[in-house]
Structure 1
């Protein structure tokens, strides 16, 4: 196949002419892209600093800053291709169709996204809180957009979807700062009730981790066929709750044994109830 030098010259001339005619658009589009990316980074940095100075929640700050970053990037990309002379109406239609398809295929993820937004905005819990939700009890270690990371007492990390978390019951043990442990002790009917009550109150009052305000309470809760039920309710700070619970059980058992008070085979912890 023979190559015609004249045709090559004509194609080269046309290419150079097109390049010369198109170069202003190409240069201006590249400049817009370059300065636009720099401006977006600058704006994002300023927005983050403003939100941090106003003491916004760190999770909310990160989400809003990232959302603004990607929104500005999308706008910059549309401006860039428009400056190149590419028709944007069909491109926007394609993006819309893709967004609809992705939305339909990711309904569960969108539900988790919405749940994450609700958690961030209404704050039923925050980082470091001890919560019980979706059958999991532990400390909140991270609140992400789609899931919440909970660290259990045995050092296991559980990822709970935010959709289920925001739509279910959440028990926050840390929100009030203090927590009451509820115990029931069953003693025999031949027990001196006043003496038993004095022993239980002394145990609670002698424990420095048991709060004086609200004051601990000891009272006869009920009479069953085989035992008298004492309710023992000490208050403690959240950080001391576990120790107060175990120390109360241990000290009460030791004191009852020392005084010859027989505990009936009935002992139940009710620390998760508010009765």
Structure 2
């Protein structure tokens, strides 16, 4: 009897020792696997936010597997535990459905890279510089120093403009002139300004053309190309130059004419 008890407790002690060893080995194995995955992702130049998210999910998932394995080693039935964890996971996923969509959108943005930190984008009337790309939100700082927090769901499901995607941009200025203006003289003067500007590109070539004729005005389109870095400088300098040319050449700005027609009614007011 005593021998059976000793044997029983010896088996139990050995099983407990094996379980502790299994737990320690499994716990350290998780760290090794995470370290290997982290190195692989760094070599792949994956964004740090995505890397941290994937490592966190792997860390939780692998540790749950280790804990379930340890519990099974102790002889505790794990079927019901797995069922509870599955049900709880489904309930959490359902409750966090919108957040999970946002996370998926954030990962999509970070992998596809339609824009990166420092790019100038426009969405929903906001124009600014991308300050940070998080899993749920993208933070944009507008030019008047307002922080705009945009859900990644909106960025993935709607259209936006990335002004920094290409290295160069076209400066486009629309002008209204009086029909009597010497357009060729104006074009010649403005083209000289564009050609002498240090940041206006020679290729693609600048262009000044008539885009529309109206009864009281002529519309001109001014096109000049510049790098993203100097876009606003070229745009502002051309506007100033255009104003000076208007003054030098005494160009008239067309005014809108409103014709008012008064129609006399045939009503007889004598009996009123």
TM-score normalised over the length of structure 2:
0.82
2:103 to 107, 113, 118: 113
- Structure 2: which 5+ runs fail to align? 257-272
Measured in 2, the distance between the counterparts of 1:216 and 1:20 equals: 91
Query: Corresponding residue for 1:248?
Result: 238
- CA change 1:153–1:32 in 2 (3 A) is farther
Conserved 8 A contact 1:186-1:265: no
- Verify the 8 A CA contact 2:130 2:139 in the aligned structure 1: yes
Separation (CA, whole Å) in 2 of partners of 1:108 and 1:90: 29
Q: 1:262 aligns with which of 252, 266, 270?
A: 252
Q: CA deviation at 1:73?
A: 2.3
Pairs aligned (count): 252
Q: What CA distance in whole angstroms lies between the structure 1 residues aligned with 2:224 and 2:136?
A: 38
Residue of structure 1 aligned with 2:121, choices 131, 143, 149? 131
Which of 161, 180, 194 matches 1:171? Answer: 161
Contact (CA 8 Å) 2:216, 2:255: kept in 1 or not?
no
For structure 1, the 5+ residue unaligned runs are: 1-13, 267-275
Q: Structure 1 pair 131/99, CA: closer, same or farther in 2 (3 Å)?
A: same
1:100 aligned partner: 90
CA positional deviation for 1:21: 5.0
Does the CA contact (< 8 Å) of 1:179 and 1:236 recur in 2?
yes
Is 2:46–2:111's contact at 8 Å kept on the other side of the alignment? no
Per the alignment, do residues 31 and 150 of structure 1 end up closer, same or farther by CA in structure 2, a change over 3 Å counting? farther
Kindly indicate whether the alpha-carbon contact (under 8 Å) linking 2:168 and 2:225 is maintained by their aligned counterparts in 1.
Answer: yes
Distance in 1 (CA, whole Å) between partners of 2:138 and 2:18 is 45
**Partner of 1:234: helix, strand, or coil?**
strand
Cα drift, residue 54 of structure 1: 3.2
RMSD: 2.5
Distance change >3 Å, CA 50–CA 211, structure 1 → 2: same
Change (3 A) 1:84 1:247: farther
Q: Which residue of 24, 47, 56 corresponds with 2:46? A: 56
Larger Rg: 2
Partner of 1:38: 28
The match for 1:156 is 146
Compared CA separation, residues 56 and 109, structure 1 to 2 (3 A): closer
Provide the C-alpha distance between the structure 1 equivalents of 2:71 and 2:221, rounded to a whole number of angstroms. 73
CA-to-aligned-CA distance 1:110-169 (integer Å, 9 cap, x gap) = 221222232233222222222122443222222222222222222332221112221111
Verify the 8 A CA contact 1:112 1:164 in the aligned structure 2: no
Partner of 1:3: none
